[in-house]
Structure 1
């Protein structure tokens, strides 16, 4: 009985609130030298047993060389490669994308420098006002999820909801603004290939404002003293159109493929691209958004990843979104119903990170 009483006496809501209001983040917990993690970071047995059965799958996500993207003779081959990757894996790495290695290094170093600042310096940026400007917090879904994950994040809105430059901390300001410019260029080049892969004009996705709403998120996964009891980020799919990921050399990212978790090895100079739920819907299921997660970091060095989430800026005049009419025919009827921007937003912010919950809601059942 004593054990039961001890468990029932644990006030999770209170402990989460205390952690949040301390503004210390998991980096602060890690730096303090703790040897066991707070209870609200501990995940359920099902999640933890799944971590232990992670795949040693020999294959990894496709790597696509973009050096001949403007070559008339090679472009169709590239379109085909990206189409196959987007239909099967939902993830691929691009190399020779045209961005200087110095830009990649400077971006990672600047985000790392922000997270390594003393607690009292970072604390003044700590808040939970998503959807605009700049914010720094631990777990954007801290109050919406059953178990917290071992990461902190900075978040900068660009594009339509762009943060004022002065809002971005000086330690990473120039690098984040530059990254928004460079990563958007790569994303739009890849979107052209994805558009052509569906038989559409190269500029169709840009015309549909698929890159107009953007947010740059800089994750820090510090050393975790009990990596077998929690995760870096829970398994989820991304909600938007396309995601661009830059990471340092510390591993941890896994992608779900053929019912197994596959480790993604960072390729020096490479960028990872993945398909979001919205693009799966708009492509009428041709392209796939795929579950992915990050394991808790057992290394002393922090894992740093910079993620750019791209999203549709302007929705149809009637306020609805769904499969593109051009992709539909009697032979290929819509797989999903149309839905409103309000449904889309509420679905994301009403719960913790999850996988394809919107897609499940709007799938047409025959």
Structure 2
């Protein structure tokens, strides 16, 4: 519990354990380019063009953003609201659901390998499986009171969006639109990252450079630009569009296709 950043938000200077070596510190990236934006509202009338756009963009970047994706603004607002409430709660209200030892499936942590890593990263994360909802809902945080309802609704709509994207990708790959259904898309996780105000963001990062191991990640960014994508040896800043989702093709999908 003492390792959570959200327990010590009043720090006036960056703790030494969070200061990255100079060669690993963040670089200022020109905002002259960003990843492509795909309008999913055109799928019904121009599906072939959207499929081609997704495949071409995925091949070049491994990332793209989607708008008109069908996730209601009110639902996004509600989910953001309960996430903020959760991290603002006293630690004694947040931790009970995460003290069940190795059998727990919901996790609240600052780093997966905090005790062994050379330098820590400036974030806390709440993560839990969300599908099938009824199998895991009772293991989600019970506070704030509206968390489980908001997360269940949000999770199901996000699953539909993820399956639509996998269907379009499968069509573009020529493997049949239902290729990624059933077992390949059975395991789904919901992660909420919190990046508290940092005394000196030039010395640290919220996350190290990495690739996701899964098929797809659907990321809802905050209002502050922070995500960067590596493309042809250059880091590109991803501008957070209001209510857009950033889609990351994971390692499993990229390696196999």
Same fold flag (TM > 0.5):
yes
Change (3 A) 1:109 1:147: same
| Equivalent pair of 2:129/2:136 in contact (CA under 8 Å) | no
Cα distance, 1:197–1:127 mapped onto 2, change above 3 Å:
farther
Which residue in 1 is equivalent to 2:86? 114
Does structure 2 retain, via aligned residues, the 8 Å contact 1:134–1:163?
A: no
Question: What secondary structure, in the 3-state scheme, does the structure 2 residue paired with 1:155 have?
Answer: strand
* Alignment of 1:44 onto 2:21: yes
Gap regions ≥5 residues in structure 2: none
Instruction: Give 1:1-366 correspondences, 5 Å limit.
Output: 21-22=1-2, 25-30=4-9, 33-48=10-25, 51-52=26-27, 54-71=28-45, 74-126=46-98, 133-159=105-131, 164-170=136-142, 171=144, 172-207=147-182, 209-283=183-257
Mapped partners of 1:60, 1:164: distance in 2: 36
Answer yes or no: is the 8 Å Cα contact 1:41–1:148 preserved in 2: yes
Corresponding residue SS for 1:278: helix
Partner Cα distance (1:86, 1:131) in 2: 37
- For the 8 Å contact 2:11–2:199, the answer to whether it is kept is yes
How far 1:175 moved relative to its partner?
1.4
Deviations 1:140-180 (A, max 9, x none): 23234321100001111123697632322232211111121
TM-score w.r.t. the length of structure 2 is 0.91
For structure 1, which segment, 114-123 or 84-93, has the greater mean C-alpha deviation from structure 2 after superposition?
A: 114-123
RMSD across aligned positions (CA) = 2.1
* Change beyond 3 A, Cα 1:131–1:177: farther
Which shifted more, 91-100 or 137-146?
137-146
Structure 1's unaligned 5+ residue stretches are: 1-20, 284-366
User: CA contact under 8 A between 1:157 and 1:216: conserved in structure 2?
Assistant: yes
Q: Is the 8 A contact 1:161 1:213 kept in 2?
A: no
8 A Cα contact 1:249 1:266, kept in partner: yes
TM-aligned CA deviation for residue 28 of structure 1: 2.0
Q: Distance in 1 between matches of 2:21 and 2:192?
A: 27
Tell me if the contact between 1:41 and 1:149 (Cα under 8 Å) persists in the aligned partners. Answer: yes
1:91/1:273 contact within 8 Å kept: yes
User: Residue 247 of structure 1: CA displacement?
Assistant: 2.2
Tell me how many residue pairs correspond in the alignment. 254
For residues 281 and 136 of structure 1, do their structure 2 counterparts lie closer, same or farther at Cα, with a shift above 3 Å needed?
A: same
> Residues 131, 195 of structure 1: CA spacing in aligned structure 2 closer, same or farther, 3 A cutoff?
farther
Q: Is the 8 A contact 2:130 2:137 kept in 1?
A: no
Would you say the 8 A contact 1:132–1:162 is kept in 2?
no
